[in-house]
Structure 1
Amino acid sequence: MDALLDFLLTEPIATTPLDDIASASARHRVVANRFDRTVDIAIAGGFGADRLGFAFLSGYREAVRTLIPDLPDDEPVAMCATEEGGGHPAAIRATFTERAGGWSSNGTKSFVTMGTFARRLIVIASVGTSPEGRNQLRAGLIEAQAPGVCLTEHPATAFAPEVPHASVSLTDVPVQLLPGDGYLDYLKPFRTIEDIHVLAATLGWLMRVARESDWPKPSRQRLLTAVAAVRGLDITVPGSPGVHIALGGVFDFFGDLLGEFGPLWELADPATQHRWERDRPLLEIAGRVRGQRLIAAWRAVGPDAERSLGE
């Protein structure tokens, strides 16, 4: 396997434009064969992308593979949790129902990243309520082309329009239930795993921009420092308070880097500059929720730590 940091510094930059998500996916699959760890694949995939949206998709794909390692690495898979009422466990109305010979799914998911490009769906749905009245969630795998699945593509977003989204309705669709709790073992950890992998892919893409645009060596060095920090996060325990706190620090450092790099974008070609200005809101989407998780992480390690955070 390749040495990732050397790869970022020396790998020839692929100059063929990526026309669509299919070409971006094909380039991602090529680089995926050169690295073992999903975070490294996300970084290298981001480096191979010619825009932030395609880098995001590399991070998203590897986040899903981290959540369910047995998934084929050449098959786009989408997480389906958010509904009209949001993504909170209590808001989920889609259901899994046991029938003769297996389980079936019914319901609607309002926001599916990967959209109609996905070949499988990881669906979070309810199997009923607990004696305490809580929504009991499970996760299940569904074939996107199965009878009863209807994916409706959304219009392209103003930023990162290359990232497809869709809504999906499920009518008596056969589902393969996955072991464990749908919230604790899938939905909750995925939010952290996705943050780590998307940030990793973004850093890989920024290293590509830095090399293409001949940014100063100290800037590239600081980018490599951020890459090393992301690689050091323990994705095997995404619920760990320490991981959340360290991830918060990495995002702070990343924010400082973006501020420092502001004047350097003038060295990039006009198309790259334009896409960066258009697409950078993509990096702010999960900021509020991530901040809430950081507060909860400090609270979990003790009142003294939480009090220090507020000083």
Structure 2
Amino acid sequence: MNDVLEYLLTAPIDAAAPADLEQAWARHAAVAAAFRSPVDCAVAGGFAADRLGFAFLSGYQEALRKLVPELVGPELIAVSATEEGGAHPAAIRTEVVPAGNGWVVRGTKTFTTMGDQARQLVVIAGTGEVVDGRPRLRAALVAAGQPGVTVTNRPPLPMAPEIPHATVVFEDAAARLLPGDGYADFLKPFRTVEDVHVLAATLGWLVRVGRAAGWPRPVLQRLLATVAMVRGLDMDAPTSPGVHIALGGIFAEFDRLLAEAEPLWEQVDAVTRERWERDRPLLATAGRVRAQRLATAWRRVGFGEEIAG
């Protein structure tokens, strides 16, 4: 099947809950194989998930595969960017340096999603150069299981505790540089690409919830319409102001839909409803940064601050 909208309405709802993240990822891979684009794979993977945390897993992984097409295969991948001072370029102290015929990474990342489950890490590291007054960054692909990489899982978060996070220490870990600039071509666009794919997966999961609970057809119709809007975004130009502004409108519609559907959660089974209440703050974690990007996008197309706000 290649029509993800029809899939959402007709695919059977697998009642068997995955035992762990590994099983959830295997389920994602099985359903995503029928679709081409990463955003459709995220939607289908979200529908196959039995909880929001595993829908996030689908969206996060497909976002990485959209941004770095050479990341193919079944292995779990993670972005390793955040350090003690954050993830903005001035905060990056991790280095990627030449060594023999290749490159090695040195430094510590304090918060890497997927924790010890990731088999490949996309590490954002500095080169020691300064370009246009900004430290130059590169994205480097590092195998997590090699000597020189120490992964220590952090305590689970209150929301989506099934998704691990870790501190990662690199001590001359062998790395392969990815093309382009680590900030402009990876870290900056990834924030938007991740938002889009995680939203796509969340919508897929909500259709599953709504179908299982017998939500009214108009609600399912609006969910599918929002999926269609997400699929229409140009993910080949994720930093364009138009994409950010359109995405802002989609999130506004999504928030309205969630608010209006709030009473319908009484129809949902207790386990799913309780997980939703626990995990829904996950959807707001990037809200402040997303609002800043939206305001910047409006300014870039010539609208004043009062309009951007």
1:53 and 1:162 in contact (8 A); partners too: yes
CA shift for structure 1 position 133: 4.6
Matched, 1:269 2:273: no
Which position in structure 1 is the counterpart of 2:110? 110
Which position in structure 1 is the counterpart of 2:161? 161
In structure 2, list runs of 5 or more residues that go unmatched. Answer: none
Q: Structure 2: which amino acid aligns with 1:120?
A: Q
State the Cα deviation string for residues 6-37 of structure 1 (Å, max 9, x = none): 11011111111111101100000101110001
Question: How does 1:81-230 map onto structure 2 within 5 Å?
Answer: 81-130=81-130, 133-230=133-230
State the Cα deviation string for residues 52-82 of structure 1 (Å, max 9, x = none): 0000000000000011111123111100110
State, as a whole percentage, how many aligned pairs show the same letter: 58
Any idea what SS the aligned residue of 1:167 has? strand
Any idea what SS the aligned residue of 1:293 has? helix
Q: Structure 1: which amino acid aligns with 2:171?
A: T
- Runs of at least 4 residues off by over 6 Å: none
CA shift for structure 1 position 98: 1.0
Which position in structure 1 is the counterpart of 2:254? 254
2:105 and 2:175 in contact (8 A); partners too: yes
Which position in structure 1 is the counterpart of 2:307? 308
2:63 and 2:194 in contact (8 A); partners too: yes
2:298 and 2:307 in contact (8 A); partners too: no
1:65 and 1:73 in contact (8 A); partners too: no
Q: TM-score, normalised by structure 1?
A: 0.97
Question: How does 1:7-26 map onto structure 2 within 5 Å?
Answer: 7-26=7-26
Any idea what SS the aligned residue of 2:136 has? strand
2:296 and 2:308 in contact (8 A); partners too: no
CA shift for structure 1 position 303: 3.6
State the Cα deviation string for residues 200-232 of structure 1 (Å, max 9, x = none): 000000000000000011111111111111011
Q: Structure 2: which amino acid aligns with 1:54?
A: F
Alpha-carbon distance between aligned partners in 2 of 1:11 and 1:21, rounded to the nearest angstrom: 22
Distance change (3 Å), C-alpha of 1:278 and 1:307: closer
Number of equivalent positions: 309
State the Cα deviation string for residues 66-120 of structure 1 (Å, max 9, x = none): 1111112311110011000001100000001112221111000011111100000
Any idea what SS the aligned residue of 1:173 has? strand
Matched, 1:285 2:292: no
Distance change (3 Å), C-alpha of 1:293 and 1:271: same
Question: How does 1:22-101 map onto structure 2 within 5 Å?
Answer: 22-101=22-101
CA shift for structure 1 position 134: 2.3
More off after superposition, 130-139 vs 78-87: 130-139
CA shift for structure 1 position 307: 4.6
Alpha-carbon distance between aligned partners in 1 of 2:256 and 2:131, rounded to the nearest angstrom: 48
Alpha-carbon distance between aligned partners in 2 of 1:127 and 1:178, rounded to the nearest angstrom: 13
In structure 1, list runs of 5 or more residues that go unmatched. Answer: none
Alpha-carbon distance between aligned partners in 2 of 1:90 and 1:48, rounded to the nearest angstrom: 39
State the Cα deviation string for residues 239-271 of structure 1 (Å, max 9, x = none): 110000000000000000110110000000000
Alpha-carbon distance between aligned partners in 2 of 1:174 and 1:5, rounded to the nearest angstrom: 42
Any idea what SS the aligned residue of 1:122 has? strand
Alpha-carbon distance between aligned partners in 2 of 1:88 and 1:79, rounded to the nearest angstrom: 14
Alpha-carbon distance between aligned partners in 1 of 2:254 and 2:266, rounded to the nearest angstrom: 19
C-alpha RMSD of the superposition: 1.1
CA shift for structure 1 position 308: 3.3
Alpha-carbon distance between aligned partners in 1 of 2:279 and 2:223, rounded to the nearest angstrom: 19
CA shift for structure 1 position 3: 1.0
Alpha-carbon distance between aligned partners in 2 of 1:131 and 1:184, rounded to the nearest angstrom: 12
